[in-house]
Amino acid sequence: MSLAVRFANTHLGLGAQLAAVALDADIGDDDDGGDEGYQVANGVAVISVHGPLVPRANSVNLCQTMTSYESINQQLAAALADDCVSQIVFDIDSGGGAVTGAFECASKVAASTKPTTAIVNYSAYSAAYLIASACDTISISQTGGVGSIGVIAEHVDYSKANENAGISITTVFRGDNKNNMTPNAPLDDRSLAMLNQMVDSSYQAFVNFVATNRGLDPQAVINTQAGLYKGAHAIAAGLADTYEDPQHALKSVVMAAASNMPQFLRIENQTPEIQSQNNLKLRAKALKMKF
């Protein structure tokens, strides 16, 4: 049940609650933070970006660790509106995912009014790197990897298999492009041109987005040829900024944020009971500031 609640909060952006359940994190947790789907420590909200990335929460397979752009958007919006949050960390371990929704999500991250850090823990490839590149800084470790700045599309032709199975499909349609890329026929010239146009458009947008946010020349991004970059090589290529263990990177952000907090609110100085009381005090202060 504890795992189900964690999944609902961190991957679906829901506000599930379970009495007497404490989420485990070395840095400590803010009890209120789970209501928005993210964890909070010393004013730092941690948003998980794990597994394949899909457009909507209802696309998530409950039997597999996945994250939806919809969930990331919701958690980001909540963290930006939360006066208890001063910085946002994206804990990323993903090989990428769908193009649909990716640029909208990454653009929201890039437009964040609070400092953002991407911690590669331990992979941020393709669409996951798109999101990471939108952050102010990217931290990577020795075996962490980033890159795969590219776009791929596949067409599967089942026509021969259907023929061998004795299946004949008749398609009636209107509009010259309505039947493009049907899996029930070989890819014709019109469909191939359409597919190439879609890939080219997404690839150019990917390259420009990374180049803009990372301060790189677009040609330098193209020259990566969707390669995978590990550790120090990622930093040398301009795809990451700092070289440190993920947990150490997270603690560094949290402790830096703590230096700007009143002494009595710092997590390392609190018992669980005091943490709960101070969470309420901080919330009350935040609400007062809004009116």
Please give the positions annotated as active site. 126
Q: Which strand (E) or helix (H) includes residue 237?
A: none
Residue 169: half-sphere exposure toward Cβ, Cα within 13 Å: 15
Taking CA atoms, 174 is separated from 158, 177, 179, 183, 188, in Å, by: 22, 8, 9, 18, 17
CA angle 282, 28, 140 (to 5 degrees): 115
CA angle 106, 80, 100 (to 5 degrees): 25
Report how far residue 94's alpha carbon sits from residue 147's, in angstroms, rounded to the nearest whole number. Answer: 11
Taking CA atoms, 84 is separated from 49, 54, 229, in Å, by: 21, 29, 35
In the beta sheet, which residues pair with residue 140? 243
